[in-house]
Every structure is written in C-alpha cells, then in structure tokens.
Chains A and B, each alone.
Chain A
C-alpha cells in the first residue's frame, strides 16, 4: 500500500504543525499550507488523497472559498475534504431553515454564524457568504469542530481513505 498524502491548510501554524506530526506518526505523508491561496498552489503540486481545511484564514471564509475552488478543479473533484474549524456553526432543522429563509428575505441573517445542514446520507452542507458578498451553498464531505479529538479525526480520515 502506497503512503496516502494529506494536505493541511490552516493559518494557525502551532496547531496545524502538531496535527501534521500526529498524522506523520500515523504513517501519512503531509504537506502544510498556511493560507487559502497557498493551499491552492501547494495542492496542485502535491496532489493529495485528502485535504484538511480551516475556514477562517486570510478572510473569514477563505476555507470555504478554497473548498469551492477545489471542487471545480479537475484534479480535486473527488478528493475528500475535511473542514476543521473553531467557527460557530448552527445545526439546521426544518424550523431553522424556515426562519433562515425569512431572515434572508429581510437581510437580517446573522452572517457570523454558518449554518450547517446534516444531510440524510451523512454529508454536511453549509450556507455562507463569499467575500464578494454572495450567498453560497456548499456541500461538504465532513465538518469537524476545533478542538478535535485526535481519535475522532483519525476515524474520519480512515472513513474517506479506507486504509
């Protein structure tokens, strides 16, 4: 079995280097990028099997923007992406979505909170505001909250890489 490659993108150097050390110890090959822009460039040279992404980097939603860019790139179309972040999320229910739609109409929605929708198949979607101010609905493979239990993170990685 060849060594699986994981790309780590996070502007918190202290945090992500520790995660890299843990993953390296578990036998993965890792590469770190410290911003969304860097992540996009490094990713193309590295062609990872899995990507771990922070959300709040050079801009509040840089991670979501990068995720979106990866998804539309031929090379990363099917690469699993784990979002790992300390931002506040709201789990969405039907009642929540109704409320959200109503609030969006009146432009009163609290955009500091990203709404997280857990789909029936276990995937997660988020609704966020891009830097150009557009609302965007992004389907995610996985969404973990910081601080994360290492075992939880490893289990999530195993799930996607099936190793």
Chain B
C-alpha cells in the first residue's frame, strides 16, 4: 500500500512527539534523583543528568527548526518534517543507549523504552521507515549488550545477581537479546498493521465525504439554475399581464379585463408560492446560518404596521402588547420578520370580519416569546399535528379560502428551527387559534 503523507496529521504529530520528549526529560531527571537518594547504586549520576540536559537541548532545537513548517502543507516541507522525525527517533535511540550504558545496560529494566519509539514510528511513518528504525534500535541495544559482555566498553552494574548471571551464563544474555528482538519486531508488526488499516479506513471515509460534498454541490447548482429560470418566466408573464391589465398601451374592454385580472392575480399568487418554495428549499439545502444582531422590536413594529390596512379592511380589532426589556436578538432579520408576518397575516386571513387578532411579545434573559392569537375559524383537532407539513391546509378552510400555498407554516417552522427555537399551536374550531414561538438567545 502506498502511504500518503498526511500534512495535517504529520505536522501535528511531530509536535506531539516533541511534547512527549519533555516528559521523558522530566522522567529521567526524577528517576535519577530517586535512585540517587533512595537506592544505594554505584552509578555516575552526573552523566545521567548531563544526558537529560542534552535531550532537553535537542528538543529545543527540533522545535525551533520545525516551527516554520507548522502551517505549511506542501510536499517539500512534509518531507522535511518526515526527515526531522527520522532524525529525532535516531538520536533518541542514541540517548537511550547512552543512558542505559551508564545505568546498568542489559540489567536496567528501562530497556523496554526502545519499544516506545518503535511504536511511535509505526504510527507516524511508513512501514519501511518503521522497520529501519526498529532494526537501528535493536542493533544499538545488541551492540551495547555485546560490547559490555565482551569487555570492549565498561559495564556499570546495578544488580550484582544479573551481572554475575550474565558473566557466568552466556545463554541468559543471548536469550534475553533474542526475546528483545522478537518482541520488538512483533510489536512493530502489530502496530503498523493496525495503523495501515486505520489509514485505509480514513482514506475511504475521506473519499466518501468528498463524494457527498460533490453531490451536494450538484444539487445546489440545480436548484439555483431552476430558481433563475422560474423567476425569469414569472417576471415576463407578470410584466406583460401588467401592461394589459393597467391598459398602458391600449384600452381593454371590461369583459376581457376580468380575465386578465384573474390571470394577473394568479401570477401574483404563483409568484408568492414559488418564493416560499424556493426559500424553503434553499434553507434545507444550505447549512449556512448567517446571523446578525438586530432589533426585534423594530421588526415587530414593522409587521404590525404593514398588516394594519389588511386588518382594517376586515374590521378586525388588532392589538399589540410588547413587553421587551432588551430587544437585541441575533439571527436572520428578514427570516424572523417573515415568521412574524406570516403568523399575523394568517391570523387576519383566517378570522372572519369583526373578529380580533393580537400580537404579544415578551422577553426574559433566555428567550423571546412571540404569541399570535385570533378569534378565527380555528383548526380542527385532527388537523393540528399536520399544520406544519408542506402543502397541508386545514380541512375546514381548504375550499372556502383558496389562496393559501400550504407552505407558509412549513417555512415558519423551518426558520424557527434554524434559530434553535420552537413553535406550537393551539386551536378550537369556531373560537380561534394561538401560535407561540420561542426564540432562545443564540450564543454569538
């Protein structure tokens, strides 16, 4: 399998390796200090402290040289980062070998620390490099043990029993070395196989993700294309009908005029319908939530004013009651206006003449509550669960009031939910309906 260097992972992990090294320095210092204070061992402690100091220095140098590559992801800096990891692991092995040499060699239980770097390298690097590092580690350790055994370099014993065992019985040394070698290769084999499998899964997930993004993009482009075309056709129909309807070019006889008027009104309705449908679709497709702070009181007032004429035309008593201490709200202003406007318009539309409609709004530190109530026709109980469904219209008004799109409340609900709010409805046929919207304050 070809191993692809993953920029983000490799650069972040090289710093993880450097961070681990700080702990190693502290660990060496502490264990040396404890040994010095509590165990009666004849070791040159100064050399051990010096080695810890050099390890500390080496780490500063790595971080200093790696810093410029932190945010870069190009190929050449990746190769530099990888080379740096190779150098780091190699020099860590040297430090470890030196440490072990001055603290008992093969007698020191810390010999298993070679395995840490072998694991790290199988996580970070390709199999080839992992096996190279493992072999280097093994070579360093075996040559240390053998040189000490053969007396080429001095042996600083920390355990006289193991020491005499090694001197008197070479089988012990060779079987210890063999076990070390086998364990190292086994560990590396297992970790690098696991890492490779994880990399394959990761790549599959990445491919699936980019595939999904591409499909999403195609869908978005399709909707945008359709939107543009529909708007173009409606614009042409509407403007042409307007020329005739307003008799701008030539007079139209009254018999024909009624037909033109009907066509013109239906075009207006179609226009509203398409607008609702496209806004709803767009909202579903785009996850962009572009909120901005605005004054909710201003929006409420503007909705009240724009519906006044409509309410007056039906002799509806139209009241407002705002109890808002802080009108600042963060969201999509035009969408929130659409929500309130839709609810108020519905209330007026579905309330018979001489009825009443009220818009109440209040706030506390957690949320805004908007309540729209009317004394209208009401919604049958069996219809209530479906009123927010697309294209659904209540059975009692479906045939008497024909100009509803069945999309208004779906849009309202989608907007409210986009703002992490809730909407609910209560209604009694013949008495009226009540819609309550809760809009929580969103963290900026």
Which residues of A are in contact with B by a Cβ distance under 8 Å?
A: 12, 14-15, 17-19, 21-22, 24-25, 56, 86-88, 90-91, 93-96, 99, 110, 112-113, 145-148, 150
Contact = CB atoms under 8 A, between A and B. Distances in A.
| A-B pairs, 10 with minimum CB distance | A86-B231, A25-B248, A18-B239, A147-B235, A15-B236, A146-B235, A14-B236, A18-B240, A21-B243, A93-B292
B248 A21 contact: yes
Interface string B220-241: 1100100111111011101110
Interface string B237-254: 011101100101100000
A158 B281 CA distance: 35
Interface in B57-96: none
B243 A22 contact: yes
Given A18-B240, A18-B242, A95-B292, A86 B220 contact: no
Contacts of B234: 146-147
A93 B231 contact: no
B365 interface: no
Interface string B265-293: 00000010000000000100000101110
10 contacts: A18-B236, A19-B239, A22-B243, A86-B230, A86-B232, A93-B292, A96-B288, A110-B220, A112-B220, A147-B238
Contacts of A88: 224, 227-228, 282
A23 to B, nearest CB: 9
A86 B282 CA distance: 15
A113 B235 contact: no
B283 to A, nearest CB: 13
Contacts of A94: 292
B236 A113 contact: no
A136 to B, nearest CB: 20
Nearest to B289: A95
B14 to A, nearest CB: 23
Given A25-B249, A150-B239, A112 B221 contact: yes
A131 to B, nearest CB: 18
B231 A18 contact: no
B291 A22 contact: no
B217 interface: yes
Nearest to A148: B235
Given A15-B232, A15-B235, A112-B220, A150 B242 contact: yes
Given A18-B242, A96-B290, A112-B220, 6 more contacts: A18-B236, A25-B243, A86-B227, A86-B228, A88-B227, A99-B288
Task: Determine chain B's interface SS by DSSP, over half rule.
Answer: helix
Given A14-B240, A96-B290, A21 B231 contact: no
A56 B228 contact: yes
Interface residues of B, number: 28
Interface of B: 217, 220-221, 224, 227-232, 234-236, 238-240, 242-243, 246, 248-249, 271, 282, 288, 290-292, 334
A93 B290 contact: yes
Find the residue from A95, A146, A148 having the highest chain B CB count within 10 A: A146
Contacts of B291: 93, 95
A56 B246 CA distance: 29
A45 B235 CA distance: 28
A56 B243 CA distance: 24
A19 B239 CA distance: 6
A15 B239 contact: yes
B243 A147 contact: no
Contacts of B227: 86, 88
A95 B331 CA distance: 12
B232 A12 contact: yes
A95 B235 contact: no
B268 to A, nearest CB: 9
Contact of B224 (A24, A112, A150): A112
A111 to B, nearest CB: 10
Nearest to A145: B231
A74 to B, nearest CB: 33
A90 B334 CA distance: 12
Contacts of A147: 231, 234-235, 238-239, 271
Nearest to B225: A112
Contacts of A14: 236, 240
A3 B177 CA distance: 103
A10 to B, nearest CB: 9
Find the residue from B230, B238, B239 having the highest chain A CB count within 10 A: B239
